[in-house]
Protein backbone atom coordinates (compact mmCIF):
# COMPACT_ATOMS: atom_id res chain seq x y z
CA UNK A 1 0.00 0.00 0.00
CA UNK A 2 1.38 3.40 -1.07
CA UNK A 3 1.38 6.28 1.45
CA UNK A 4 2.17 10.00 1.11
CA UNK A 5 3.33 12.65 3.60
CA UNK A 6 0.88 15.27 4.82
CA UNK A 7 3.62 17.92 4.71
CA UNK A 8 4.92 19.58 1.48
CA UNK A 9 8.56 19.25 0.51
CA UNK A 10 10.92 21.96 2.03
CA UNK A 11 13.32 24.43 0.28
CA UNK A 12 16.47 23.04 -1.12
CA UNK A 13 19.85 24.39 -0.07
CA UNK A 14 20.29 26.11 -3.45
CA UNK A 15 16.99 27.93 -3.09
CA UNK A 16 17.90 29.12 0.39
CA UNK A 17 21.26 30.42 -0.83
CA UNK A 18 19.68 32.28 -3.77
CA UNK A 19 17.05 33.81 -1.50
CA UNK A 20 19.67 34.91 0.98
CA UNK A 21 21.74 36.45 -1.80
CA UNK A 22 18.74 38.38 -3.16
CA UNK A 23 17.81 39.65 0.29
CA UNK A 24 21.43 40.69 0.83
CA UNK A 25 21.50 42.61 -2.45
CA UNK A 26 18.26 44.35 -1.57
CA UNK A 27 19.68 45.31 1.82
CA UNK A 28 22.87 46.66 0.22
CA UNK A 29 20.83 48.75 -2.23
CA UNK A 30 18.62 50.07 0.57
CA UNK A 31 21.60 50.91 2.77
CA UNK A 32 23.32 52.66 -0.16
CA UNK A 33 20.21 54.66 -0.94
CA UNK A 34 19.85 55.60 2.73
CA UNK A 35 23.49 56.69 2.93
CA UNK A 36 23.22 58.69 -0.29
CA UNK A 37 20.06 60.39 0.91
CA UNK A 38 21.70 61.16 4.23
CA UNK A 39 24.80 62.58 2.54
CA UNK A 40 22.66 64.72 0.25
CA UNK A 41 20.69 65.99 3.21
CA UNK A 42 23.83 66.72 5.21
CA UNK A 43 25.47 68.44 2.23
CA UNK A 44 22.39 70.61 1.63
CA UNK A 45 22.12 71.42 5.34
CA UNK A 46 25.82 72.30 5.57
CA UNK A 47 25.56 74.47 2.47
CA UNK A 48 22.60 76.34 3.94
CA UNK A 49 24.39 76.76 7.26
CA UNK A 50 27.59 77.91 5.55
CA UNK A 51 25.84 80.85 3.95
CA UNK A 52 23.20 81.50 6.61
CA UNK A 53 25.20 84.38 8.08
CA UNK A 54 25.72 85.87 4.61
CA UNK A 55 22.02 85.53 3.82
CA UNK A 56 21.02 87.18 7.10
CA UNK A 57 23.47 90.03 6.52
CA UNK A 58 22.27 90.53 2.95
CA UNK A 59 18.61 90.67 3.98
CA UNK A 60 19.36 93.10 6.82
CA UNK A 61 21.33 95.34 4.44
CA UNK A 62 18.68 95.44 1.72
CA UNK A 63 15.90 96.15 4.23
CA UNK A 64 17.73 99.18 5.58
CA UNK A 65 18.78 100.43 2.16
CA UNK A 66 15.11 100.63 1.24
CA UNK A 67 14.59 103.15 4.07
CA UNK A 68 17.14 105.72 2.81
CA UNK A 69 15.83 109.27 2.72
CA UNK A 70 16.90 112.71 1.46
CA UNK A 71 13.95 114.80 2.65
CA UNK A 72 14.11 116.83 -0.56
CA UNK A 73 12.46 120.25 -0.74
CA UNK A 74 12.43 123.24 -3.11
CA UNK A 75 14.30 126.51 -2.59
CA UNK A 76 15.67 129.48 -4.50
CA UNK A 77 18.92 128.86 -6.40
CA UNK A 78 21.35 131.28 -8.00
CA UNK A 79 22.67 131.04 -11.57
CA UNK A 80 25.21 128.41 -10.48
CA UNK A 81 22.58 126.23 -8.85
CA UNK A 82 23.61 127.08 -5.28
CA UNK A 83 21.33 127.85 -2.36
CA UNK A 84 21.67 130.97 -0.23
CA UNK A 85 24.52 130.93 2.30
CA UNK A 86 23.30 129.93 5.74
CA UNK A 87 25.46 132.52 7.53
CA UNK A 88 23.08 135.48 7.84
CA UNK A 89 24.87 138.78 7.17
CA UNK A 90 27.82 137.23 5.35
CA UNK A 91 28.96 138.53 1.96
CA UNK A 92 27.69 135.42 0.22
CA UNK A 93 24.35 135.80 1.99
CA UNK A 94 23.96 139.47 1.00
CA UNK A 95 25.11 138.96 -2.61
CA UNK A 96 22.80 136.02 -3.28
CA UNK A 97 20.60 136.60 -6.35
CA UNK A 98 17.78 134.07 -6.73
CA UNK A 99 17.15 132.91 -10.28
CA UNK A 100 14.88 129.88 -10.13
CA UNK A 101 13.46 127.18 -7.88
CA UNK A 102 15.34 123.92 -7.60
CA UNK A 103 15.61 120.75 -5.56
CA UNK A 104 17.67 121.00 -2.39
CA UNK A 105 18.46 118.50 0.34
CA UNK A 106 20.62 118.62 3.45
CA UNK A 107 20.82 114.83 3.54
CA UNK A 108 23.02 112.83 1.21
CA UNK A 109 23.37 109.53 -0.59
CA UNK A 110 26.62 108.22 -2.07
CA UNK A 111 27.71 104.90 -3.52
CA UNK A 112 30.68 103.75 -5.54
CA UNK A 113 34.06 101.99 -5.39
CA UNK A 114 35.70 102.08 -1.98
CA UNK A 115 39.27 101.97 -3.26
CA UNK A 116 40.72 105.37 -4.07
CA UNK A 117 42.36 104.59 -7.41
CA UNK A 118 39.13 104.72 -9.40
CA UNK A 119 39.35 107.43 -12.07
CA UNK A 120 36.44 109.12 -13.74
CA UNK A 121 35.48 112.45 -15.24
CA UNK A 122 32.49 114.47 -14.16
CA UNK A 123 31.19 117.66 -15.69
CA UNK A 124 31.99 119.73 -12.60
CA UNK A 125 35.02 117.60 -11.68
CA UNK A 126 34.11 117.01 -8.02
CA UNK A 127 36.50 115.06 -5.76
CA UNK A 128 36.67 111.32 -6.17
CA UNK A 129 34.30 109.44 -3.90
CA UNK A 130 35.53 107.60 -0.86
CA UNK A 131 39.12 108.86 -0.93
CA UNK A 132 41.07 109.24 2.29
CA UNK A 133 39.84 105.96 3.72
CA UNK A 134 43.23 104.27 4.04
CA UNK A 135 43.84 105.41 7.62
CA UNK A 136 45.13 101.98 8.59
CA UNK A 137 47.76 100.11 6.53
CA UNK A 138 46.23 96.85 7.71
CA UNK A 139 42.90 97.37 5.95
CA UNK A 140 41.86 96.73 2.36
CA UNK A 141 38.38 97.70 1.18
CA UNK A 142 37.46 95.89 -2.05
CA UNK A 143 34.29 96.36 -4.03
CA UNK A 144 31.74 99.12 -3.53
CA UNK A 145 30.27 100.95 -0.58
CA UNK A 146 27.01 102.79 0.01
CA UNK A 147 26.29 105.50 2.61
CA UNK A 148 23.03 107.32 3.35
CA UNK A 149 20.71 108.70 6.02
CA UNK A 150 17.66 106.94 7.41
CA UNK A 151 15.41 107.35 10.49
CA UNK A 152 16.71 104.41 12.54
CA UNK A 153 16.79 106.25 15.89
CA UNK A 154 20.19 104.91 17.01
CA UNK A 155 21.59 107.09 19.82
CA UNK A 156 24.28 106.89 22.48
CA UNK A 157 22.25 108.83 25.05
CA UNK A 158 19.38 106.39 25.45
CA UNK A 159 18.23 108.01 28.70
CA UNK A 160 17.23 111.30 27.08
CA UNK A 161 16.82 110.35 23.41
CA UNK A 162 15.87 106.70 23.54
CA UNK A 163 12.18 107.43 23.03
CA UNK A 164 12.80 109.34 19.77
CA UNK A 165 12.61 106.38 17.43
CA UNK A 166 12.74 108.36 14.19
CA UNK A 167 15.96 110.30 14.70
CA UNK A 168 18.19 110.31 11.63
CA UNK A 169 21.38 108.30 11.41
CA UNK A 170 24.16 108.11 8.87
CA UNK A 171 24.35 104.48 7.79
CA UNK A 172 26.45 102.50 5.34
CA UNK A 173 27.72 99.16 4.06
CA UNK A 174 31.06 98.07 2.62
CA UNK A 175 33.43 95.10 2.53
CA UNK A 176 36.66 95.20 4.50
CA UNK A 177 39.57 92.76 4.37
CA UNK A 178 41.87 92.54 7.35
CA UNK A 179 42.41 90.99 10.75
CA UNK A 180 39.75 90.21 13.29
CA UNK A 181 38.35 93.59 14.43
CA UNK A 182 37.27 92.08 17.76
CA UNK A 183 40.65 90.53 18.55
CA UNK A 184 41.87 91.53 22.04
CA UNK A 185 45.02 93.66 22.07
CA UNK A 186 46.81 91.32 24.50
CA UNK A 187 46.71 88.35 22.11
CA UNK A 188 50.19 87.71 20.70
CA UNK A 189 50.28 87.43 16.91
CA UNK A 190 53.34 85.19 17.06
CA UNK A 191 51.59 82.53 19.14
CA UNK A 192 48.06 83.03 17.83
CA UNK A 193 48.16 83.98 14.12
CA UNK A 194 45.76 86.60 12.87
CA UNK A 195 42.59 85.34 11.28
CA UNK A 196 42.45 87.40 8.08
CA UNK A 197 39.09 87.46 6.37
CA UNK A 198 36.87 89.65 4.20
CA UNK A 199 33.81 90.91 6.03
CA UNK A 200 30.61 92.82 5.28
CA UNK A 201 30.69 95.84 7.58
CA UNK A 202 27.80 98.00 8.76
CA UNK A 203 28.51 101.69 9.51
CA UNK A 204 26.16 103.05 12.21
CA UNK A 205 26.72 106.68 13.23
CA UNK A 206 24.57 107.74 16.24
CA UNK A 207 22.29 110.71 15.83
CA UNK A 208 24.27 112.90 18.25
CA UNK A 209 27.50 112.41 16.27
CA UNK A 210 26.27 113.07 12.75
CA UNK A 211 28.75 115.33 10.94
CA UNK A 212 26.46 115.97 8.02
CA UNK A 213 25.25 119.55 7.96
CA UNK A 214 28.26 121.24 6.39
CA UNK A 215 27.30 122.83 3.06
CA UNK A 216 30.98 123.25 2.11
CA UNK A 217 31.80 119.57 2.58
CA UNK A 218 32.34 118.05 -0.84
CA UNK A 219 34.84 115.42 0.27
CA UNK A 220 32.53 112.90 1.95
CA UNK A 221 33.67 113.79 5.45
CA UNK A 222 30.13 113.13 6.64
CA UNK A 223 31.04 109.45 6.77
CA UNK A 224 34.80 109.18 6.11
CA UNK A 225 35.69 110.94 9.38
CA UNK A 226 33.70 108.41 11.39
CA UNK A 227 34.94 105.54 9.28
CA UNK A 228 38.59 106.35 9.92
CA UNK A 229 38.27 107.34 13.58
CA UNK A 230 39.79 105.37 16.45
CA UNK A 231 36.48 104.11 17.78
CA UNK A 232 34.70 103.46 14.51
CA UNK A 233 30.91 103.02 14.70
CA UNK A 234 31.04 99.81 12.69
CA UNK A 235 30.24 96.17 13.26
CA UNK A 236 30.74 92.92 11.34
CA UNK A 237 27.50 91.95 9.64
CA UNK A 238 28.77 88.81 7.87
CA UNK A 239 32.12 87.10 7.33
CA UNK A 240 33.74 85.76 4.15
CA UNK A 241 32.05 88.30 1.87
CA UNK A 242 34.40 88.63 -1.08
CA UNK A 243 32.89 91.72 -2.68
CA UNK A 244 29.85 94.00 -2.73
CA UNK A 245 28.53 95.60 -5.92
CA UNK A 246 26.06 98.51 -5.85
CA UNK A 247 24.44 99.66 -9.11
CA UNK A 248 21.98 102.60 -8.87
CA UNK A 249 19.34 102.36 -11.60
CA UNK A 250 16.18 104.01 -12.84
CA UNK A 251 12.97 102.07 -12.50
CA UNK A 252 12.03 99.93 -15.49
CA UNK A 253 9.04 102.17 -16.22
CA UNK A 254 11.24 105.28 -16.29
CA UNK A 255 13.90 103.59 -18.41
CA UNK A 256 11.28 102.35 -20.90
CA UNK A 257 9.68 105.81 -21.05
CA UNK A 258 13.03 107.39 -21.84
CA UNK A 259 13.75 104.76 -24.52
CA UNK A 260 10.37 105.46 -26.14
CA UNK A 261 10.96 109.21 -26.05
CA UNK A 262 14.51 109.10 -27.38
CA UNK A 263 14.01 106.26 -29.86
CA UNK A 264 17.34 104.75 -28.77
CA UNK A 265 18.66 102.78 -25.84
CA UNK A 266 19.24 105.48 -23.21
CA UNK A 267 22.40 105.77 -21.15
CA UNK A 268 22.52 104.28 -17.66
CA UNK A 269 21.95 106.24 -14.49
CA UNK A 270 25.45 105.41 -13.15
CA UNK A 271 27.54 103.82 -15.92
CA UNK A 272 30.62 103.71 -13.67
CA UNK A 273 28.67 102.62 -10.54
CA UNK A 274 29.25 106.06 -8.96
CA UNK A 275 26.31 107.95 -7.52
CA UNK A 276 26.44 111.17 -5.51
CA UNK A 277 23.28 113.04 -4.63
CA UNK A 278 25.31 116.27 -4.31
CA UNK A 279 26.67 116.21 -7.87
CA UNK A 280 25.34 116.62 -11.39
CA UNK A 281 26.76 113.45 -12.88
CA UNK A 282 24.82 113.02 -16.10
CA UNK A 283 23.20 116.29 -17.19
CA UNK A 284 21.46 114.82 -20.22
CA UNK A 285 21.41 112.19 -22.92
CA UNK A 286 22.11 112.42 -26.65
CA UNK A 287 23.79 115.79 -26.65
CA UNK A 288 21.31 117.32 -24.23
CA UNK A 289 18.18 116.43 -26.18
CA UNK A 290 16.78 114.92 -23.00
CA UNK A 291 18.11 117.37 -20.36
CA UNK A 292 17.83 116.39 -16.74
CA UNK A 293 16.66 112.87 -17.56
CA UNK A 294 19.32 111.20 -15.48
CA UNK A 295 20.43 113.97 -13.17
CA UNK A 296 20.75 112.56 -9.63
CA UNK A 297 21.41 115.87 -7.89
CA UNK A 298 19.45 115.97 -4.63
CA UNK A 299 17.63 112.79 -5.59
CA UNK A 300 17.72 109.22 -4.39
CA UNK A 301 18.21 106.49 -6.99
CA UNK A 302 14.86 104.78 -7.58
CA UNK A 303 16.41 101.29 -7.56
CA UNK A 304 19.62 99.75 -6.27
CA UNK A 305 20.82 96.49 -7.80
CA UNK A 306 22.73 94.99 -4.87
CA UNK A 307 25.01 92.02 -5.55
CA UNK A 308 27.09 90.28 -2.89
CA UNK A 309 29.55 87.39 -3.37
CA UNK A 310 30.08 85.13 -0.35
CA UNK A 311 32.54 82.26 0.16
CA UNK A 312 32.47 79.46 2.68
CA UNK A 313 35.14 79.27 5.39
CA UNK A 314 37.19 76.59 3.62
CA UNK A 315 37.34 78.56 0.37
CA UNK A 316 38.32 81.79 2.08
CA UNK A 317 41.07 80.00 3.99
CA UNK A 318 42.26 78.47 0.72
CA UNK A 319 42.56 81.91 -0.90
CA UNK A 320 44.29 83.32 2.18
CA UNK A 321 46.79 80.45 2.16
CA UNK A 322 47.42 80.84 -1.54
CA UNK A 323 48.02 84.59 -1.61
CA UNK A 324 48.93 85.51 1.92
CA UNK A 325 51.41 82.95 3.25
CA UNK A 326 55.15 83.18 3.78
CA UNK A 327 57.31 85.73 5.59
CA UNK A 328 58.89 88.87 4.13
CA UNK A 329 57.23 88.32 0.79
CA UNK A 330 56.48 91.26 -1.47
CA UNK A 331 53.17 91.31 -3.29
CA UNK A 332 51.99 93.66 -5.99
CA UNK A 333 48.57 95.06 -5.13
CA UNK A 334 45.81 95.83 -7.58
CA UNK A 335 46.52 99.55 -7.47
CA UNK A 336 50.31 99.60 -7.63
CA UNK A 337 51.06 99.78 -3.90
CA UNK A 338 53.86 97.55 -2.63
CA UNK A 339 54.25 96.64 1.01
CA UNK A 340 56.76 94.29 2.62
CA UNK A 341 56.38 92.63 5.99
CA UNK A 342 54.46 89.86 7.68
CA UNK A 343 51.33 91.87 8.55
CA UNK A 344 51.45 94.16 5.53
CA UNK A 345 52.15 91.26 3.20
CA UNK A 346 48.93 89.64 4.36
CA UNK A 347 47.10 92.88 3.65
CA UNK A 348 48.48 93.08 0.15
CA UNK A 349 47.71 89.41 -0.30
CA UNK A 350 44.07 90.13 0.52
CA UNK A 351 44.27 93.04 -1.92
CA UNK A 352 45.33 90.56 -4.60
CA UNK A 353 42.48 88.25 -3.64
CA UNK A 354 39.89 91.01 -3.60
CA UNK A 355 41.14 93.34 -6.31
CA UNK A 356 44.22 92.08 -8.11
CA UNK A 357 42.73 88.90 -9.48
CA UNK A 358 39.85 90.77 -11.07
CA UNK A 359 40.89 94.41 -10.70
CA UNK A 360 39.33 95.39 -14.03
CA UNK A 361 35.91 94.06 -13.08
CA UNK A 362 32.96 96.04 -11.75
CA UNK A 363 34.10 99.44 -13.03
CA UNK A 364 31.89 99.54 -16.14
CA UNK A 365 28.22 98.92 -15.33
CA UNK A 366 27.40 97.93 -18.91
CA UNK A 367 29.53 94.80 -18.38
CA UNK A 368 27.98 93.60 -15.14
CA UNK A 369 26.08 90.68 -16.66
CA UNK A 370 26.80 90.90 -20.41
CA UNK A 371 29.94 92.21 -22.05
CA UNK A 372 28.83 94.28 -25.08
CA UNK A 373 32.25 93.75 -26.69
CA UNK A 374 31.81 89.97 -27.05
CA UNK A 375 29.15 87.96 -28.89
CA UNK A 376 28.68 85.50 -26.06
CA UNK A 377 25.68 86.37 -23.84
CA UNK A 378 26.06 86.19 -20.10
CA UNK A 379 29.84 86.63 -20.12
CA UNK A 380 30.01 89.84 -18.11
CA UNK A 381 32.04 90.66 -15.02
CA UNK A 382 30.02 88.39 -12.72
CA UNK A 383 30.63 85.45 -15.05
CA UNK A 384 34.38 86.17 -15.10
CA UNK A 385 34.47 86.29 -11.31
CA UNK A 386 32.59 82.99 -11.13
CA UNK A 387 35.09 81.47 -13.55
CA UNK A 388 37.96 82.48 -11.32
CA UNK A 389 36.30 81.14 -8.17
CA UNK A 390 35.43 77.86 -9.88
CA UNK A 391 38.99 77.40 -11.16
CA UNK A 392 40.27 78.14 -7.66
CA UNK A 393 38.05 75.36 -6.28
CA UNK A 394 35.99 77.74 -4.15
CA UNK A 395 32.46 77.21 -2.92
CA UNK A 396 30.60 80.47 -3.34
CA UNK A 397 27.15 81.97 -3.34
CA UNK A 398 25.97 85.10 -5.18
CA UNK A 399 23.15 87.08 -3.58
CA UNK A 400 21.42 89.71 -5.70
CA UNK A 401 18.33 91.85 -5.31
CA UNK A 402 16.71 94.95 -6.82
CA UNK A 403 16.01 97.24 -3.86
CA UNK A 404 13.34 99.88 -4.40
CA UNK A 405 14.05 102.95 -2.28
CA UNK A 406 10.76 104.10 -0.81
CA UNK A 407 11.80 107.74 -0.37
CA UNK A 408 12.81 108.20 -4.00
CA UNK A 409 10.66 110.77 -5.78
CA UNK A 410 12.40 110.85 -9.11
CA UNK A 411 12.02 113.98 -11.22
CA UNK A 412 13.40 114.88 -14.64
CA UNK A 413 13.01 118.66 -14.24
CA UNK A 414 16.21 120.04 -12.76
CA UNK A 415 19.17 120.28 -15.14
CA UNK A 416 21.84 121.94 -13.02
Q: What's the pLDDT tens digit per position in 348-360? A: 445 545 444 455 6
**pLDDT (mean) for 219-244:** 86
Q: Is the pLDDT of residue 221 over 80?
A: yes
Grade residue 320 by pLDDT with cuts at 50, 70 and 90: confident
The pLDDT value recorded for residue 136 is 46
> Would strands 331-332 and 109-113 be described as parallel, antiparallel, or unpaired?
unpaired
Q: Is the pLDDT of residue 318 over 60?
A: yes
Grade residue 333 by pLDDT with cuts at 50, 70 and 90: very low
E strands, 263-340, are 275-276, 284-285, 290-291, 303-311, 331-332, 338-339
Grade residue 119 by pLDDT with cuts at 50, 70 and 90: very low
Q: Which residues of 327-336 are buried (b: 16+ CB within 10 A; e: fewer)?
A: eeeebebbee
**pLDDT (mean) for 324-336:** 36
* Minimum mean pLDDT range among 186-190, 298-302, 333-337: 333-337
Are 62 and 173 in contact by the 8 Å Cβ rule? The answer is: no
The pLDDT value recorded for residue 349 is 47
List residues bridging with 309 in a β-sheet: 243, 398
Q: Is the pLDDT of residue 392 over 50?
A: yes
Alpha helices for 182-265 (secondary structure H): 221-227, 252-262
List residues bridging with 109 in a β-sheet: 148
The pLDDT value recorded for residue 162 is 62
Please tell me the distance from the alpha carbon of residue 409 to that of residue 415, in angstroms, as a whole number: 16
Residue scoring higher pLDDT (283 or 207): 207
Contacts of 221 (CB under 8 A, 6+ apart): 211, 214
Please tell me the distance from the alpha carbon of residue 302 to that of residue 66, in angstroms, as a whole number: 10
Share of the chain above pLDDT 70, in %: 70
Amino acid sequence: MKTSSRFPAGFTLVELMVSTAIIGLIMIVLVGMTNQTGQTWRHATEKIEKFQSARDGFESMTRKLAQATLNTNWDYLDKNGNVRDKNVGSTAFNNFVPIYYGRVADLRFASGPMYSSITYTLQTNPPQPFTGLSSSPDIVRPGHGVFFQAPFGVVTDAADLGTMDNLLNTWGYFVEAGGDPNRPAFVDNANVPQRWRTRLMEFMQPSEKMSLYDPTDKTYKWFTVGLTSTNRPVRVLAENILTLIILPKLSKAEQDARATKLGVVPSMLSPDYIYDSQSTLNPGANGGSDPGAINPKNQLPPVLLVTMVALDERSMQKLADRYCSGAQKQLQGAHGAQVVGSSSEMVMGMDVVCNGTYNNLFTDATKLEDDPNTPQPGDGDLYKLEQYLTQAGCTYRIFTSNVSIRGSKWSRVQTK
